Structure formats: C-alpha cells, structure tokens
C-alpha cells in the first residue's frame, strides 16, 4: 500500500473541508462543505488515473466535465429564481479546488497546500477586504501601483551585471534593495491604514519605525509645538520608532546575508533591548489621561521619485565604501558610516551587508559600522527633535537618545568577539 497516496487524499480532504466550510458559512447555494470536499477528492482521483493509466487526456476531460456541471447548475438557478445571484467566486474556487487536488498528486504538495490555505483565507476575509478597498484614497492606490511598477516592471528589465569603478554598481541588485526598502515602508503604511489613525501610542511608534523613523521624528516634534503637553508622548513614539528602525536594519541584514546573521545580530539586538527598556521607562511616566495619540497621516511611502533618490544614494554609498576601503582600509569606513547614517541608515546597511556577503569585510567590523551608522542617525534625529520641538521634548529625547548612543558606543568598544549565536 502506498501511504503517500493516502496522505495526499487526506490533505485534499482537509483543504476541501476548509474551503467548503467557509463557502457554506456564507449561505452559498451552489456548493458547500460536501461539494468542495468531493471536488478536491475528484481532482486527486483524476490525477491518480492520469498517472497510473499514463493517459494525459483524462485530467483535462474530467476538468471540462466539472466546468460543464457548474455551467448547468447556474443555468438551472437562473431559470428557477427570478433574482438569482449568479457570481463567479464559488465557481472559480471550485475549479481551483479541483486543480489543487490534481496538483497535490502531479506537482509540489507544499505549493498546493499554500494555495489552498490562501484561497480559504481570501474567501474568509472577503467583507473586510471589500471594506478596505472601498476606503482606499487616491494616494493609497498610488502607493500600490507605484510599488507594483518598481518591483514588477522596473526590476526585471534592469541588467544584472556590474559596471563602473571598483566593479560594485549592479543596477539589478541596487534596484532590488530599493524594492526591499520601499516594500517595508509600504507594509507599515498599510498596517497603519488597517489599524486607523488612533492605533495607540505603542502602535504609532512601531508603525512610525516601519514607515520612516525620520519622518515620524519630524511629525511629532512639530506636533509638540502645535498641541498641548504631548512632549513625553512624542518622545516615547520617536524613541520607539527609532528602536523599530534598528529592527529594520536587522531584517535588511538577514535578507542580504542570512548565512552571517548569527555573527551580526546579537550586539544589534542588545542595543535594541536597551532602547526597548528606555521606551518602557518613558511609557511608565506617560499620563494616560491626557493622551493625544493620533498618528500624523504619513505620506505615500512608494513615490517613484523617493525610490529613485534612494537608488542613487545607495549607488553612491556603494562607490564611497569601495573607494574608502581601497584607499584607506577599514578605518576609513567609520567616517563613511557616520556621514551616511546622518541621512539614511538603510543605504549604508545594505552597502556594508553586500560587502560582507562577498567577504570584502569581516562581520566583526561590519556590525560595528552598521551600529555606528544607526547611532549617527539617532544623533541626527535628536538634533531635528531639538530644533523642531519644544524644550521639554528636547530634554526627554536628549536623555533617551543620549543613553542609547553611549550604550551603543560601549557595545562597539567592549563587545567580546566570541559572543554570537
């Protein structure tokens, strides 16, 4: 007995039951839990017959017969009910369920399970999805379309080879990093849209870090001068956003050099823990009765101009890192990290990660440079908060950022080389 085939039947039964359960919950009269389970098993049995009889025509013929049954069922519904609601969702789901059942036999079972699970989720969140789409504004659609253009149109057509001095400018790789950074920001932006403006001060800090910690700093620093005593709340959100920006850095490193993440992440994580403790201390002092925790409306994070500027900046930093390393060695990279970190931590992080990926830079030096760039960015945001915000905000940010910078410098100086995962 082939227990693999029994396992496949079990998976098909489970997926059909899952999708059918959702369809029946919507009072669908075309197909429910039994029908979808039978269709899934029909797909598996059709693939078994195709495989065992070595007849490639059986599967498409049975699929066409199923399509004919669905058409006849809709025609009967139209004649029987004057106000019949004939849609396409259930019919397409039924055909896809048949295809998934067949693919579990003839293709990759993992992909079949993933597609079946995703289909069940999409059917389940139909109402929420429709409400979300109806509430989209023009700039939200612009963010989606711009990101689609950046990732699905521009990226595939760029040449995947290196150019220029030091052989480090690869248009495809540079734009791939643009897609990564814009993608993280877009995810944060739509989480914000899902949660709403009043998501709580903790959520605002996290979302601010996902979208842009620098923009969050500017928005809340200005807010302290426009609204009554929100200095402490603003300091908490700015510090939280900066801590989440450090999480972004670790994610970027993990995407570019996952094989070396265990040698890099621990000191960065220790700095993150220290900043989290500072956030907790700030949160403790916040007077909850006087919260004004509405997050300022963020701009579209997927503007093509911003993506292009980031790509150019990243390319320039790649050249600067390569030039500095060639002329001055690793010591010169510390200056580049400080200067680059003032404007954008993502670009220098990705540049150094690519250098470590090609073994052009030791990980023990690389994480120190990345942390230094993050500390430089903290200093820059602290200065902006002091200039744009109130004196009370400057006091709280000076304390939180000052402690974070000192701890970060101590980590760079005292961290044992053998401490890693």
- pLDDT of 184-197, one tens digit each? 888 888 877 777 65
- Identify the band that residue 130 occupies on the pLDDT scale cut at 50, 70 and 90: low
Long-range residue pairs from 104-110, CB within 8 A, at least 24 positions apart, any chain:
104/8, 104/11, 104/12, 104/43, 104/44, 104/47, 105/5, 105/8, 105/44, 105/47, 105/48, 105/51, 106/47, 106/50, 106/51, 106/59, 109/8, 109/11
Q: By mean pLDDT, which of 131-140, 236-245, 359-368, 369-378 is the weakest? A: 131-140
**CB atoms near residue 283 (< 10 Å):** 17
Helices 231-256 & 345-357, crossing angle to 10 degrees?
Answer: 20
Domain residue spans of the chain? 3-132, 137-414
Phi and psi of 229, rounded to 5°?
-60, 85
* Res 74 pLDDT > 60: yes
Q: Give the per-residue pLDDT at 84.
A: 54
Q: By mean pLDDT, which of 5-9, 172-176, 299-303 is the weakest? A: 299-303
* Res 133 pLDDT > 80: no
Mean pLDDT of the chain: 84
* Res 220 pLDDT > 80: yes
Closest CA relative to residue 106, chosen from 165, 55, 33, 174:
55
Q: Are 381 and 224 in contact (CB under 8 A)?
A: no
Q: Give the per-residue pLDDT at 121.
A: 84
* Res 227 pLDDT > 70: no
Phi and psi of 169, rounded to 5°?
-90, 105
* Res 169 pLDDT > 60: yes
* Res 288 pLDDT > 60: no
Q: Say which DSSP state 296 is in.
A: P
Which secondary-structure segment (H or E) carries 307?
helix 304-328
Look at the pTM and tell me if it is higher than 0.85: no
* Res 311 pLDDT > 80: yes
Q: Are 247 and 272 in contact (CB under 8 A)?
A: yes
- Region 14-18: mean pLDDT is 87
* Res 412 pLDDT > 80: yes
Q: Give the per-residue pLDDT at 289.
A: 47
Q: Give the per-residue pLDDT at 294.
A: 56
* Res 146 pLDDT > 80: yes
Q: Are 241 and 275 in contact (CB under 8 A)?
A: no
Q: Greater confidence, 398 or 193?
A: 398
* Res 291 pLDDT > 70: no
Percent of residues, the chain, with pLDDT higher than 90: 32
- Region 17-30: mean pLDDT is 71
Q: Give the per-residue pLDDT at 123.
A: 81
* Res 378 pLDDT > 90: yes
Nearby residues of 418 by Cβ (< 8 Å), 6 or more positions away: none
């Amino acid at each position: 007995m082939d227990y693999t085939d029994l396992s496949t039947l079990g998976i098909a039964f489970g997926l059909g039951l899952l999708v059918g359960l959702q369809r029946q919950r919507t009072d669908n009269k075309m197909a429910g839990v039994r029908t979808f389970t039978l269709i899934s098993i029909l797909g598996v049995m059709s693939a078994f017959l195709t495989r065992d009889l070595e007849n490639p025509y059986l599967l498409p013929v049975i699929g066409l017969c199923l399509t004919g049954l669905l058409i006849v069922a809709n025609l009967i519904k139209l004649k029987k009910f004057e106000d019949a609601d004939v849609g396409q969702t259930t019919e397409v789901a039924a055909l896809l369920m048949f295809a998934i059942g067949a693919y579990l036999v003839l293709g990759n079972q993992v992909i079949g399970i993933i597609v079946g699970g995703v289909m069940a989720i999409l059917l389940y969140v139909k109402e929420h999805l429709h409400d979300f789409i109806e509430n989209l504004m023009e700039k939200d659609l612009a963010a989606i379309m711009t990101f689609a253009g950046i990732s699905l149109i521009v990226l595939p057509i760029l040449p995947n080879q290196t150019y220029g001095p030091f052989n480090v400018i690869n248009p495809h790789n540079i734009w791939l990093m643009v897609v990564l950074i814009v993608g993280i920001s877009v995810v944060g932006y739509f989480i914000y849209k899902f949660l709403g403006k009043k998501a709580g001060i903790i959520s605002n800090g996290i979302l601010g870090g996902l979208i842009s910690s620098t923009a969050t700093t500017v928005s809340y620093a200005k807010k302290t001068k426009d609204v009554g005593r929100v200095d402490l709340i603003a300091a908490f959100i700015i510090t939280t956003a900066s801590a989440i920006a450090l999480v972004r850095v670790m994610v970027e490193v993990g995407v570019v050099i996952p094989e070396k993440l265990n040698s890099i992440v621990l000191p960065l994580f220790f700095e993150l823990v220290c900043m989290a403790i500072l956030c907790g201390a700030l949160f403790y002092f916040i007077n909850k009765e006087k919260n004004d925790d509405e997050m300022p409306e963020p701009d579209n994070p997927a503007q093509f101009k911003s993506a292009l500027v980031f790509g150019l900046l990243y390319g320039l930093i790649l050249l600067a890192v390569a030039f500095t390393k060639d002329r001055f060695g690793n010591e010169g990279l510390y200056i580049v990290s400080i200067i680059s970190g003032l404007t954008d931590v993502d670009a220098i992080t990705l540049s150094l990660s690519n250098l470590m990926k090609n073994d052009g830079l030791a990980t023990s030096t690389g994480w120190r440079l990345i942390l230094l760039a993050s500390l430089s960015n903290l200093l820059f945001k602290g200065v902006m908060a002091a200039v744009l915000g109130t004196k009370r905000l400057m006091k709280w940010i000076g304390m939180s950022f000052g402690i974070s910078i000192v701890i970060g410098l101590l980590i760079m100086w005292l961290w044992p080389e053998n401490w890693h995962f």
